[in-house]
Structure 1
Amino acid sequence: MNKKAKAILDFWFIKTSPEERFNRNDEFDKKIKDLFLEDYKKATNNEYDYWQESAEECLALIILLDQFSRNLFRNDSKAFAMDYKAQIIVKNAISKNYHTTLPNNYILFIFLPLMHSEKLEDQLQCNKLIDECLKDNKNYKEISKFAKIHLDIIKKFGRFPYRNKVLKRNNTKDENNYLSSTHHGFFNI
């Protein structure tokens, strides 16, 4: 595995806790910016596309495009700019069965771009894969619950209403009602 991909995986899985990964923290966002902004830029310019040739490097690329983007560009539409690319990479990775070769605690991050998708078919695939592949994960129930919440939101609205503001989309009345009555900590964009 190349040094850059290893640095990303070590940072994400060894040097950080799940709490740091999934909660809003300006200091953590800054650390990612300091360490990985240049790599993110290279990934967006297709300079790391060759990482798709191995499971671990592919996962590092997915984390760059799907996870780090949310830390690098919190409260900015750029946070979602590479979602489409991450989703294409994920579908390619799944077709190569990469998710079956990675450690159990890594697998979720292969599926997260599908969970972040506003396409119903991606949500359905994500939920199916989580149910099939993560039953042995100690956090399966929580992961499955969050996946189903994402799926239900897409079924109801066809998009994630909590993204509307940064994406400059107008809320519907139903979305306004939902946003005023619901709070999910994992929507801290």
Structure 2
Amino acid sequence: MGDDITDSNDARQIGEVLDFWFPEGRALDIDPDRHAELWRWRMHGGADGAIAARFGPLTERGAAGGLDHWSATPEGRLALIVVLDQFPRSLWRGSARAWAQDTEALAQAEAGLDNGDWTALGLSWFQITFTQPLGHAEGPEHLARIDRLIALRRDIATRAPAPLRPLYASLVDQAGQVRRIIASFGRHPHRNAILGRRSTPEEEAYLEKGAFPHQRVFRG
């Protein structure tokens, strides 16, 4: 498999990443309030300390391409996307490194959408995480990717367990809000200062309001 680790170590590490990032596991009868609480924990910094303590070196290896072979299975690819797309946002929060892996995470997500890995995962929370790079990665065709993301989220919201459907419907709306930002500015303005980019007057007005769609996970 490469990266001079054994298959059993790969399986163990993939399992550790998924068990950590998805404490709800695979149970379809999870309480909606608990489910929303776990998403807020994931998305708003609640996991930062644990990620640094448990997955810092693993995230470094993933960023260097040392875990690319995980993409051989659907769950391995999902774990790789978590390592590339989510863990850096906690481990390197406030620095350019937080987003430096977005292009590779996007490549993994698009490959998995095209080869059936996304469909094979089945669970709503797995599939949402799998597709997050479509909205995160800046660059050409960003709007088209967000349109694809919106369509995928609509599909997920339709198929989610009935008690969870309102939560997943809110993520459709969130993606629509992100689309409006990219349509207006062509990028994520909240990254400008950290990336050393000059904000336009329009972006400065947007930043002054502080109403950022990426911070509205399960908040309506």
Structures share fold, TM-score greater than 0.5: yes
SS at match of 1:101: helix
Residue of structure 1 in register with 2:153 after alignment: 130
Residue of structure 2 in register with 1:46 after alignment: 65
**TM-score, length-scaled by structure 1:** 0.91
Q: Larger Cα Rg: Structure 1 or Structure 2?
A: 2
Name the CA distance, whole Å, in 2 between partners of 1:48 and 1:24. Answer: 24
Residue of structure 1 in register with 2:205 after alignment: 177
Q: Per the alignment, do residues 110 and 164 of structure 1 end up closer, same or farther by CA in structure 2, a change over 3 Å counting?
A: same
Stretches of structure 1 that go unaligned for 5 or more consecutive residues are: none
Contact 1:77 1:166 in 2 (8 A): yes
Residue of structure 1 in register with 2:184 after alignment: 156
Q: Among residues 5, 13, 19, which one is paired with 1:4 in the alignment?
A: 13
Contact 1:23 1:186 in 2 (8 A): no
Query: Residues 37-186 of structure 1 correspond to what in structure 2 (within 5 A)?
Result: 37-102=56-121, 103-118=123-138, 119-137=142-160, 138=164, 139-184=167-212, 186=214
1:114-138 deviation line (CA, Å, top 9, x unaligned): 1112222221221122123332232
Residue of structure 1 in register with 2:3 after alignment: none
Paired residue total: 186
1:57-88 deviation line (CA, Å, top 9, x unaligned): 10000000000110011111100000000000
Q: Per the alignment, do residues 18 and 2 of structure 1 end up closer, same or farther by CA in structure 2, a change over 3 Å counting?
A: same
Point out the more displaced range, 122-131 or 152-161: 122-131
Name the CA distance, whole Å, in 2 between partners of 1:104 and 1:187. Answer: 20
Contact 1:117 1:123 in 2 (8 A): no
Stretches of structure 2 that go unaligned for 5 or more consecutive residues are: 1-9, 25-36
SS at match of 2:170: helix
SS at match of 1:135: helix
Name the CA distance, whole Å, in 2 between partners of 1:33 and 1:182. Answer: 27
Point out the more displaced range, 99-108 or 133-142: 133-142
SS at match of 2:159: coil
**TM-score, length-scaled by structure 2:** 0.79
Percentage of pairs with the same residue: 27
Please say if 1:23 is aligned against 2:44.
yes
How far 1:187 moved relative to its partner? 4.2
How far 1:93 moved relative to its partner? 0.5
SS at match of 1:127: helix
